Amino acid sequence: MKPNFLRALIWVLCLPAAPAWAQDADAPIQQLLQEHAKVIAKSSRKTIGPAIDALAASGLPEAKTVLERWQAKDMWYGKEDGLFVFAEKVDRKTLRIFDVSDGSEIGTVDPKTHKQLKPNSGIRGLIGAALVQFQLNDPDPAARLTALDAIERDANASHLTALRGAIENEPDDRIRARKMRLERLLTIRFGTDDAERIAAIDSFESDLGVDVRATLNPLIESRLEVAKEAPAGYDVLRVLQPGSEDLTRAAAHALLVESGFSAPVITRDDKRAALIANIRNGSVGGVQVADLNTDAARDLAYAELARAGAVDAVATAADIDAALAAHVFFERVVGAPPLVAHAALEALEAIETRVAMARTADLLLDGMSLASIYFLAAIGLAITFGVMGVINMAHGEFIMMGAYTGYVVQLLIPDYTVSILVALPLAFAVTFGAGVAMERLVIRWLYHRPLETLLATFGISIALQQIAKNIFGTQARPLTSPDWLDGSLIVNDIVSISYIRIAIFILALLFLALFLFLMNRTRLGLEVRAVTQNPRMAGSVGINPDRINMLTFGLGSGIAGIAGVAIGLYAKVTSEMGQDYIVQSFMTVVVGGVGNIWGTLVGATMVGFLQKGIEWMNPSNTLAAQTYMILFIILFIQFRPRGIIALKGRAAEA
């Protein structure tokens, strides 16, 4: 007997330890779980909602922990006693369990005595939504913001009460404002009092947020109906006229057929086939086949066949007109109570008006931004082409040289702010020198020979592009903007403009002021204006036209280099980037008026706004928009060949 006793003793000692103390089965949280034990154990997304809602609304301090542990698959229940516990596996044969009421350790048991709750992704999502109300009052602001994000993604009616309770004690003004806005949105969706919902709707009449329109649109959902008399109920959203944009004749007649107020129509081929199938002794429905050469005759024959029961009755064009005139078509509200739906409709109409105004403002900002870019790119060309009369097809390559100068500077100076401040004057120096060299070596020998100048500068353009490819390759190079230029100035959900474009706009204004100062307040400007008006007279009073031409060409090229740095901050820097601006630069100068800085400004504004306007009308095809713009410019030049602001003197005579 001793061996058997020893074996029994060893077997008992090897059993997992019994629970250290009994679980508190009478705890309120345990009792609440027991009330919903069947649906919790079943874990079906279709039936689990009431159990989760009961936990979330219980007000018990343990509810949050239970939901979190349940979501993390850490909750189990006993197969024998049915009590819920928290548990963690020690090993394959040992499970450590904890009381759900206070988290105290109960002991270790055999895993076979308990079943793990494994909520699927759908149930975990429901639990996550329930946890939001606890997170709304979390001391950590990041947790509260996360809760608001979760509500915005998947809101339900229970969140409305939670939000209202979390607003008053919110210490952060920004988060409180967001809570209040979200509370009003949820009031519109889930509120039970119509006056409360209407007040929330009215508060959003000036809000252009996409979430507002997404909340209001379901409220005006309607069903198209037809009746013999106009309905008098306030649930009628609007009356529609057949043949209008909102209700075609075909759709209106289809509704009449569906409602039993009109016979259907058939196609001409079907009618013809029916007539052929019913030919008897050379006639159809009492009409001779030879007489069936008009629609009226065929309609008459078919109507006779229908009266005889040979074919189904159909509506003629006259029948359709009569049926449409005798009935009223209207939309009946089904998305919300009538008063709420009408308030939503009025709010949406007000919002749409503001949206149209905002889109117009956004389009104007885009046009102004593009105009500043074109002005910056064309101001150098306005000097070389307008003042000197030189058609410089390599102007775009000076823009490209400036952009690559900025790229090289950023390789040497990693601080982007400092590198941009260094790159701007350095790009001016590099392209100024290149412009002077080009003028001395090529341009000076080709004055007053526009065709040869065009061909020579075009060849230089190709050569400069190839040199850039040999040095930097064909891959686009980054010209990174400083951190303070990242992002956009956002006015609302529709109107925004990037900080880089704002900086380019300011830079264009600075160059305008600098150019005006240079031309009107310096000796160089006086000499340039003198050479522009009458080079021979300027030479007779001691001005060297040859030197002025050199400096003027260098100045125009240097400004193109600075424009390259600015443009490279948001556009790709490649060897061909200058070609993207050369055509627009010439159009800007020619349209505005050759040789006039104010004309260049007006021309850039006109070209920029025109291009944006055409792109807005045809957004799917940018190339077509540019083609239309060029055609418009050509037509404009036919009526005003000297531009908007014509210049007198050498440039005007060229």
By the 8 A CB rule, do 158 and 189 touch?
Answer: no
Of the pLDDT bands very low, low, confident and very high (cuts 50, 70, 90), residue 460 is: very high
Measured torsion, CA atoms of residues 516, 522, 523, 526, in degrees rounded to the nearest 10: 30
Q: What are the Cα distances from residue 202, in Å, to 176, 268, 639?
A: 20, 53, 52
When pLDDT is averaged across residues 329-353 and rounded to a whole number, the result is 87
Angle at CA 639, nearest 5°, toward 651 and 654?
A: 15
Mean pLDDT for 19-31 is 70
Residue 493 is assigned to a structural domain of this protein: yes
- Give the CA radius of gyration of the chain: 40
**In degrees, to the nearest 5, what angle opens at C-alpha 415 toward C-alphas 413 and 417?**
115
Report the C-alpha gap between 385 and 553 in whole angstroms.
9
Q: For residue 629, give the 3-state DSSP assignment.
A: helix
CA–CA separation, 643 vs 654, rounded Å? 14
- Any bridge partners for residue 496, and if so which? 490
Q: What is the structure's pLDDT at 14?
A: 43
* 58, 6: one domain: yes
In a domain, 626, yes or no: no
pLDDT at 15 over 60: no
Distance CA 356, CA 349 (A): 11
Does 246 lie in the same domain as 178?
no
Residue 366 lies in a domain: yes
- Spatial distance between the Cα atoms of 193 and 648, rounded to a whole number of angstroms: 74
- Give yes or no: residues 176 and 277 share one domain: no
CA 58, CA 49: separation in Å to the nearest integer? 14
Evaluate if residue 607 carries a pLDDT over 70. Answer: yes
Type of residue numbered 17: A
- For 319, the token pair is 């029948």
What confidence score (pLDDT) does residue 450 get?
A: 82
Q: Would you call 369 exposed, middle or buried from its count of C-beta atoms within 10 A (0-12, 13-18, 19+)?
A: buried
**Strands 114-116, 236-240: parallel, antiparallel or unpaired by DSSP?**
unpaired
- Single-letter amino acid code for the residue at 206: S
The verdict on 206 and 258 lying in the same domain is: no
Dihedral of CA atoms 459, 463, 468, 470 in degrees, nearest 10, equals 150
List the structure tokens of 593. 């008026």
User: In this structure, are 499 and 379 located in the same domain?
Assistant: yes
| DSSP sequence for 486-509 | -SEEESSSS-EEEHHHHHHHHHHH
What's the pLDDT at 331? 84
Hey, which residues does 185 pair with through a beta bridge?
none
Q: Do 364 and 439 belong to one domain?
A: yes
User: How much is the pLDDT for 654?
Assistant: 44
Residue 226 domain flag:
yes
267 or 184, greater pLDDT: 184
pLDDT greater than 70 at residue 439: yes
- Note whether 232 and 274 are same-domain residues: yes
What are 299's two structure tokens?
């309609």
pLDDT at 272 over 90: no
* Residue with token string 């490649």: 574
216 and 232 in a single domain? The answer is: no
84 forms beta bridges with: 77
Q: How far is CA 164 from CA 183, 191, 200, 207, 366, in A?
A: 7, 12, 14, 21, 41
What are phi and psi for residue 75, nearest 5 degrees? Answer: -105, 135
In 3D space, the residue among 164, 545, 591 whose CA is nearest the CA of residue 387 turns out to be 545
Query: Are 321 and 173 in a shared domain?
Result: no
What per-residue confidence (pLDDT) applies to 266?
A: 77
Average pLDDT, the chain: 82
CB contact at 8 A, 249 and 319: no
What does 576-626 look like in DSSP terms, one character per residue?
TTTHHHHHHHHHHHHHH-TT-HHHHHHHHHHHHHHHHHHHHHSTT-HHHHH
pLDDT band, very low/low/confident/very high, at 278 (cuts 50, 70, 90): confident
Task: Report the SS3 class of residue 227.
Answer: strand
Domain co-membership, 371 together with 493: yes
* DSSP reduced 3-state for 544: coil
Instruction: Look at residue 597 and tell me if it is in a domain.
Output: no
Can you give the pLDDT at residue 408? 93
**Of 588, 567, 598, nearest in space to 636 by CA:** 588
Please say which residue of 220, 253, 271 terminates a domain.
Answer: 220
556-595 per-position pLDDT tens digit: 899 889 989 988 888 888 988 888 888 888 888 888 776 6
In this structure, the answer to whether residues 247 and 214 fall within a common structural domain is no
Based on the fold, state whether residues 268 and 399 are members of the same structural domain: no
Across 14-111, where does the E strand assignment appear?
Answer: 75-78, 84-91, 94-99, 105-109
Q: Which residue has the higher pLDDT, 201 or 490?
A: 201
Number of domains in the chain: 4
Give Cα separations from 464 to 308, 378, 407, 425, 459 (angstroms).
88, 19, 17, 21, 9
284, amino acid identity = V
Tens-place pLDDT, residues 202-233? 998 888 888 888 899 998 888 888 888 877 77
How far is Cα 200 from Cα 63, in angstroms, rounded to an integer? 32
Q: Which residues are CB-contacts of 312 (< 8 A; sequence separation ≥ 6)?
A: 263, 264, 306
> What pLDDT shows up at residue 621?
60
Q: What is the mean pLDDT of residues 411-439?
A: 92
At residue 137, the pLDDT reads: 80
pLDDT at 652 over 70: no
> For 309, left (φ over 0), alpha (ψ -120 to 50), or beta?
left
Q: For residue 382, give the DSSP letter.
A: I
Cα 526 → chain centroid? 50
The CA-based angle 399-404-410, given to 5 degrees, is 135
DSSP per residue over 393-407, as a string? TTHHHHHHHHHHHHH
Per-residue pLDDT, averaged over 362-379, amounts to 85
Contacts of 116-121 with CB under 8 Å at 24 or more apart are 116/73, 116/75, 116/76, 116/87, 117/40, 117/41, 117/43, 117/70, 117/73, 117/75, 117/76, 117/77, 118/43, 118/73, 119/43, 119/48, 119/70, 119/71, 119/73, 120/43, 120/45
Residues 6+ apart with CB under 8 A from 466: 575
**262: which 2 tokens?**
């009109």
pLDDT score of 412 more than 80: yes
Pair type for strands 328-333 and 75-78: unpaired
- For residue 91, being part of any structural domain is answered with yes
Q: Domain containing 48: what range? A: 2-125
Percent of the chain with pLDDT over 90: 13
pLDDT by residue (tens digit) across 184-205? 999 999 888 899 999 999 998 8
Pick from 32-41, 166-175, 297-306, 557-566: least confident? 297-306
Q: SS3 of 102, please?
A: coil
Q: Is residue 153 part of a domain?
A: yes
Distance CA 340, CA 197 (A): 7
Is the Cα dihedral 128, 130, 135, 136 positive or negative? Answer: positive
Predicted local distance difference test score (pLDDT) of residue 23: 67
Of 81, 98, 125, at which residue does a domain stop? Answer: 125
**In-domain check, residue 302:** yes
- Region 264-289: what's the mean pLDDT? 79
| Residue whose C-alpha is closest to residue 613's, from 369, 371, 359, 363 | 363
Q: Give percent of the chain above pLDDT 70.
A: 93
Last residue of a domain, one of 578, 609, 633: 578
Would you say residue 244 has pLDDT above 70?
A: yes
The mean pLDDT of 419-436, rounded to a whole number, is 93
